[in-house]
Amino acid sequence: MLARLLLLTLAVTSLLASAEEDRVEQLLTQMTLEEKVGQLSQLGIQNTLSGPAIDPGELTHFPITQVGSVLNVYGAEHTRKMQEQVVQGSRLHIPLLFAYDVIHGFRTIFPVPLAEASAWEPELSRRVARVAAIEATASGIHWTFAPMVDIARDPRWGRVVEGAGEDPFLGSALAAARVRGFHGHGPPDLSSMMSTAKHFVAYGAAEGGRDYNVADLSERTLREVYLPPFHAAVEAGVEAVMPAFNELAGVPMHSNNALLTGLLRNQWGFTGLVISDFNAVWELIPQGLAQSPANTAQLAFNAGVDMEMASQSYRQYLPTQVGSGQVSRQSLDDAVRRVLKAKERLGLFDAPYRYSDEAREKASILTPQHRALAREAAQKSIVLLKNAGSLLPLPKSLGTVLVVGSLATDAQATLGPWAWAGHPQDSVTVLQGIQHAVSADTQVIYLPGASPDSPGTQGIAAAQQAAHDADVVIAVLGETADQSGESRSRAELGLPGAQDRLLRALLETRKPLIVVLMNGRPLVLSTNVQRAPALLETWFLGSETGHAVADVLFGDVNPSGKLPITFARSVGQIPLYYAHKNTGRPPLGDAAFESAYIDVPWTPLYPFGFGLSYTTFAYSPPRLSTTRLASTQTVDVEVTVTNTGQRAGDEIVQLYLRDDVASVTRPVRLLRGFRKVHLAPGQARHLTFTLGQEDFALLDERFIPVVQAGTFTVFVGGDSTTQNQARFEVTDSRRLSTPGPGAPN
Ligand code: BGC
């Protein structure tokens, strides 16, 4: 019975699929060359035009009836009107795809992705992306340009804020989770949103951390570090991929046939859309690859870019180029087919306005449930970096609390970059959160003191004076929302403006001082910051910032976040990351002629994976199920984690692996597992991680994935510097049958 039902379902599904394909094929036979190329164009409407009040009349000079997609237009009413214009005003009535950068929430704003990565909780990332999709789709959006899965090891690059940090293993887990979250149950569910893995590839490796700059990587680093999160996103079913603005070893990514077609399409089997970045097809001219917009169209299309965002080279030149044979008709049809299929899957041919429903929009935006998830995500994203003398958590019954720093009241900053559909007035600022949390008898005084975007020092004296009279000082310091993000590279990574001087003045009062950092990248923390007894990294936490920060400050929540990226001591150390190589002269710190610096320690200020709690955790030595195994076998690594403090808390248990000897050099350790555990005071739990060939594998000299016989050291602990270790041996070498992301074509 069950089997017959299954067969019937399969038959119906394949009938539906073939009906969809028939419609797409039929449309293709009816379309002119210009109409086909139109489908490959996305109109980039400036954000200033994207508000709900937009008048469609304003758009008459835009050829919206001749394009396949529109960027930056949202709102149920607004998208409906524009869709009507297109469906009714075009010959074949092909609906538009509405695309928007839903990066960390739509109207309910969640922590920036780097913050969310500090929670090390893929399921949380999935849930957050789900809510973002529910809100955005209710506002007419079909397609987001997220997740950004670029590995970033250079905090000068302002876009570190948009990704999951420095590690491909954590990054891959979060990339896949976010893709699943945006997708949900998939169409016909109205809250299913197409996602985009971007920016393919090595955008985070921009030289000098300067945005859009060239990347020049070894093939090994590309395959081992930068490609895996994209592969994970493709495996998770991401519907689109966006090439990066940068060139890679001399080949701009928008003309990179080897990677876009050879690797992504042919080797990985990606069947979705490749959408250019904003104007990036045209940018092949300044990059020195093309003489004219006509050349750019041919180069990008033949490399494998299906749809062009913003610049109009495709619309203008592809029809002639197909006519003259410079671009193949077959490839053109394939690209158009991918666009039409996406529209068909979303159900837009049958119901073009199905995503534009005002009632659904009203009911879906900023609901109490969404805000509750934003608060949970924000709480879990906070990293406690320092807590000397257990200054935190604070009692709620303090006499006078002084809150200092303009960021404390900066609602825009709570949203961080890439949150244009978010409204600052929906956000709880840090000051509001503190005011809300303390007892009725506590006096909360606020003074701006200094601000990240002004050199002005005039507020410092008053702040210092007020600090003298306060029981506790909370200094909210860091960056404004637009000091990180796209084109926000910084060469200096200290506190901008006069904030460090403010801090020095506050330290002079010797009052209990807590520094709450708000920023989009690991800052280089000055001696003054390091002198503060308590330090909370809160990144940009979104709509519920103030509540979440206060929850942690006053102990309603025990912080559990761990850094997804290393904090350097000095800009000169960058790039600095835990998975470095040993070198022939490892820095042991006791001799000259080591791989170190003479002026600054070589180690980070705070390592990858680091984060404190209001309780403490102890780890047993790792216990192995075997110490000798064949390459096809697995080994269980068991560890007991005990809460040795007075409060319940969550610990993110991390497992790292080192291949001790191999035919190519290996990083000193690589993250290979992580798990979050909740432990009551005194409670202990045994955790087991299973390691197998995927974990032992490496790419050999010819980039063939192999397991090589020899010893491995496994480390288990609370951050990437743990020395809690054990060793096992793999007794034979073997080539792997599954190629993995980095294998050669
Ligand atoms: C960014 C992309 C973004 C696009 C559309 C570009 O400037 O690099 O990440 O998706 O704009 O807004």
Provide DSSP, 23-41: HHHHHHHH--HHHHHHHTE
Q: How far apart are CA 77 and CA 144, in angstroms?
A: 19
Ligand 1 pocket, residue 277 CB under 6 Å: yes
For ligand 1, whether the C-beta of 198 sits within 6 Å is: yes
Measured in whole angstroms, the distance separating CA 98 from the mean position of its chain's CA atoms is: 22
Q: How far is CA 529 from the centre of its chain?
A: 27
Residue % of the chain over a pLDDT of 70: 94
Does residue 355 sit in the same domain as residue 387?
no
Q: Which domain holds residue 684?
A: 617-735
Q: Which residue has a Cα nearest atom 7 of ligand 1?
A: 278
Query: Residue range 76-93: average pLDDT?
Result: 94
* Domain end residue (candidates: 539, 557, 573): 573
User: Residue 673 Cα, ligand 1 centroid: separation in angstroms?
Assistant: 32
Q: Both 174 and 255 in a single domain?
A: yes
Indicate whether residue 101 lines ligand 1 (CB < 6 A). Answer: yes
Q: Phi and psi of 331, rounded to 5°?
A: -65, -40
Residue 588 pLDDT class (50, 70, 90 cuts): confident
- The catalytic position among 277, 500, 551, 650 is 277
What 3-state DSSP class applies to 248? strand
Question: Which range in 20-24, 78-82, 245-249 is most confidently predicted, on average pLDDT?
Answer: 245-249
pLDDT at 15 over 80: no
Cis check for the bond before 580: say yes or no (omega within 30 of 0): no
Let me know: does 459 contact 447? Beta carbons within 8 Å. yes
What secondary structure letter does DSSP report for 527? H
pTM equals 0.96
CA dist 493 and 529 (Å) reads 13
Q: Which of 573, 600, 635 is the last residue of a domain?
A: 573
Same domain, 718 and 669: yes
Nearest CA to ligand 1 atom 4: 278
**What is the Cα–Cα distance from 185 to 130, expressed in whole angstroms?**
10
Same domain, 301 and 220: yes
Residue 446's domain is classified under what CATH number? 3.40.50.1700
Whether 49 shows a pLDDT value over 50: the answer reads no
Phi and psi at residue 197, to the nearest 5° = -85, 125
For residue range 311-320, list pLDDT tens digits in order. Answer: 999 999 999 9
The CATH code of the domain that includes 226 is 3.20.20.300
Helices (H), 285-328: 293-303, 313-324
600 falls within a domain: no
Altogether, the residues listed in the chain come to a count of: 745
Residues with Cβ < 8 Å from 374, sequence gap 6 or more? 105, 108, 109, 110, 542, 543, 544
Where is the domain boundary, 362, 392, 408?
Answer: 362
**Per the domain annotation, does 367 fall within a domain?**
no
Q: Sorting pLDDT into bands at 50, 70 and 90, what band is 745?
A: very low
Report the alpha-carbon distance of residue 487 to residue 158 in Å, rounded. Answer: 7
**Distance between Cα 310 and ligand 1 center (Å):** 10
Mean pLDDT across 436-443: 98
Look at strands 308-309 and 41-44 and give their pairing: parallel
Q: Are strands 649-659 and 670-679 parallel, antiparallel or unpaired?
A: antiparallel
Asked whether residue 482 falls in the same domain as residue 340, the answer is no
Tell me what pLDDT residue 592 has. 82
Strand, helix or coil for residue 2: helix
Per-residue pLDDT at 92 exceeds 50: yes
Considering only CA atoms, which of 433, 439, 438, 508 is closest in space to residue 476?
A: 433
Average pLDDT of the residues in 311-336: 96
Statement to judge: residues 344 and 470 lie in one domain: no
Cα distances (angstroms) measured from residue 126 to each of 66, 123, 129, 342, 343: 35, 5, 5, 22, 24
189 is catalytic: no
Nearest to 193 by CA among 180, 204, 203, 206: 180
On the question of pLDDT at 739 being above 80, the answer is no
pLDDT in tens, 219-241: 999 999 999 999 999 999 999 99
Residue with CA closest to ligand 1 atom 12? 101
Q: Which two tokens stand for residue 492?
A: 């200096």
Contact 278 CB / ligand 1 (< 6 Å): yes
**Residues 244 and 311 grouped into a single domain:** yes
pLDDT, residue 65, reads 87
pLDDT tens sequence across 655-680 = 999 999 999 999 999 999 999 999 99
Give me the DSSP letters along 623-660. Answer: EES-SEE-TTS-EEEEEEEEE-SSS-EEEEEEEEEEES
- Region of poorest pLDDT, from 44-48, 61-65, 335-339, 507-511: 44-48
Residues 443 and 391 in one domain: yes
Same-domain pairing of 414 and 489: yes
Please name the helix (run of DSSP H) or strand (run of DSSP E) that holds residue 6, with its range, or none.
helix 2-30
Give the pairing of strands 196-200 and 143-144: unpaired
Query: In terms of Cα–Cα distance, which of 556, 523, 514, 518 is closest to 537?
Result: 518
State whether residue 484 is helix, strand or coil: coil
What separation in Å is there between the alpha carbon of 174 and the centre of ligand 1?
20
Give the pLDDT confidence of 257-299 residue by residue, as tens digits.
999 999 999 999 999 999 999 999 999 999 999 999 999 999 9
User: Separation of 260 CA from ligand 1 center, angstroms?
Assistant: 18
pLDDT band per the 50, 70, 90 thresholds, residue 705: very high
486 Cβ closer than 6 Å to some ligand 1 atom? yes
pLDDT for residue 44 = 83
- Is 26 a domain residue? no
**Tokens, residue 345:** 């899957």
CATH code, 638 = 2.60.40.10
Instruction: Report, as an integer, the average pLDDT of 381-394.
Output: 98
Are residues 348 and 397 both part of a single domain? Answer: no
Residue 37, in any domain of the structure = no
CA distance between the termini of the chain: 45
Closest-lying ligand 1 atom to the alpha carbon of residue 196: 10
Residue type, 73: V
Which residue among 145, 211, 212, 246 has the greatest number of ligand 1 atoms within 8 angstroms of its CB, and so is best to mutate? 145
Q: Does residue 371 sit within a domain?
A: no
Cα separation, 312 vs 408, in Å, equals 43
Q: Are 541 and 111 in contact (CB under 8 A)?
A: yes
Q: How far does the centroid of ligand 1 lie from the alpha carbon of residue 244, in Å?
A: 9
Relative to beta strand 41-44, strand 69-71 is parallel
Domain co-membership, 556 together with 625: no
How far apart are the C-alpha atoms of 453 and 190, rounded to whole Å? 42
Residues of the chain with pLDDT > 90: what percent?
92
Residue 578 placed within a domain: no
What whole-number distance in Å separates Cα of residue 378 and Cα of residue 547? 9
Ligand 1 contacts CB of residue 145 (under 6 A):
yes
- Give the C-alpha separation, 241 to 307, whole Å: 11
Q: Which of 183, 350, 336 is nearest to 273 (CA)?
A: 336
Domains identified in the chain, total number: 3
In a domain, 254, yes or no: yes
Model pLDDT, residue 18: 76
| 332/386 same-domain check | no
Residue 460 lies in a domain: yes
